């Protein structure tokens, strides 16, 4: 145990700065997605483009490449490049969301967003402050996520609203666990590697991970609030 108050305070200040950067990047990415989705919903060209299965696969492919490249903490990579990757990813996600303003009401979208924000904030705070090791929860959530993805892919062919609705609750539980665990894991990564890697790159990598957690919580809550179907009158 470190009994030096100065070292402890410096470590605490560094950790707080890291979390501030990470949440700031994440919030900016969410804003990019929201603005892209909102303005994209007014563009017939964007809607037609995102209705094309080939375009959807292309967007998913680019996102996978970006996510994979950002998961590597290469010290020689410029934080500017990492930030560009994060915001391009968020912009592409916004394109995927451009149709929700047509399918869902503004009230449903707002309710789901606010609820997702509150839920994410509580879970992330718990993950950053709890002394309990959440790695067991994280491993179980990751394993459940794999099974969840497989069933979701099958449901793409079945197109069952009931399966979508029921699995939204399951997905919500999975990403609740992942949000708390990811936050704790990122905290531990900073404490263990903060002096060995570019902190901005680590914050940007963490921002992408937490962004994905938040987006999935939002999607599942939107499905739950609307019965897994659009209800625009």
Question: Which DSSP letter does residue 167 get?
Answer: H
**pLDDT tens figures, 115-158:** 999 999 999 999 999 999 999 999 999 999 999 999 988 988 88
Closest CA to 191 of 16, 43, 48, 3: 16
pLDDT of residue 9: 54
Tokens of 31: 């804003």
**pLDDT above 70: residue 232:** no
CA 64 – CA 220 distance, rounded (Å): 21
- Quick count: other Cβ atoms within 10 Å of Cβ 229? 11
> Beta strands of 68-226 (E only): which ranges?
none
pLDDT digits (tens, 9 = 90+) for 103-114: 899 999 999 999
Please give the share of the chain, as a percent, with pLDDT higher than 70: 90
Q: Is the pLDDT of residue 178 over 90?
A: yes
Cα dist. 131→30, 108, 141, 142, 185 in Å? 29, 36, 19, 21, 12
pLDDT number for residue 233: 52
What is the per-residue pLDDT across 37-81, written as a single tens digit (0 to 9) for each? 999 999 999 989 888 889 989 999 999 999 988 887 665 678 899
The answer to pTM > 0.85 is: yes
229 or 48, higher pLDDT: 48
Q: What angle do CA 20, 183, 123 make, to 5 degrees?
A: 100
Kindly report which listed range (27-36, 93-102, 175-184) carries the lowest average pLDDT score. 93-102
Please tell me the predicted confidence (pLDDT) of residue 185. 96
- Identify the pLDDT of residue 12: 80
């Amino acid at each position: 145990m470190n009994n030096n108050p100065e070292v402890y305070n410096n470590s605490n200040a560094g950790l707080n700065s890291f979390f501030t950067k990470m949440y700031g990047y994440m919030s900016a990415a969410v804003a990019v997605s929201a603005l892209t989705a909102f303005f994209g919903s007014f563009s017939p060209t964007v809607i037609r483009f995102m209705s094309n299965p080939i375009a959807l696969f292309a967007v998913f492919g680019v996102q996978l490449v970006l996510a994979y490249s950002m998961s590597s903490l290469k010290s020689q990579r410029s934080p500017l490049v990492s930030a560009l990757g994060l915001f391009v990813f968020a912009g592409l996600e916004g394109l995927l969301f451009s149709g929700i303003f047509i399918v869902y009401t503004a009230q449903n979208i707002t309710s789901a967003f606010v609820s997702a924000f509150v839920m994410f904030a509580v879970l992330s705070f718990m993950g950053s402050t709890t002394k309990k090791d959440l790695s067991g929860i994280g491993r179980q959530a990751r394993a459940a996520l794999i099974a969840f993805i497989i069933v979701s892919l099958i449901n793409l062919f079945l197109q069952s609203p009931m399966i979508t609705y029921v699995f939204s609750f399951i997905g919500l539980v999975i990403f609740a666990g992942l949000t708390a665990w990811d936050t704790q894991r990122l905290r531990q990564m900073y404490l263990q590697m903060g002096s060995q890697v570019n902190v901005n790159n680590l914050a940007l990598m963490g921002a992408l991970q937490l962004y994905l957690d938040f987006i999935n919580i939002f999607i599942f809550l939107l499905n739950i609030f609307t019965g897994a179907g659009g209800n625009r009158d």
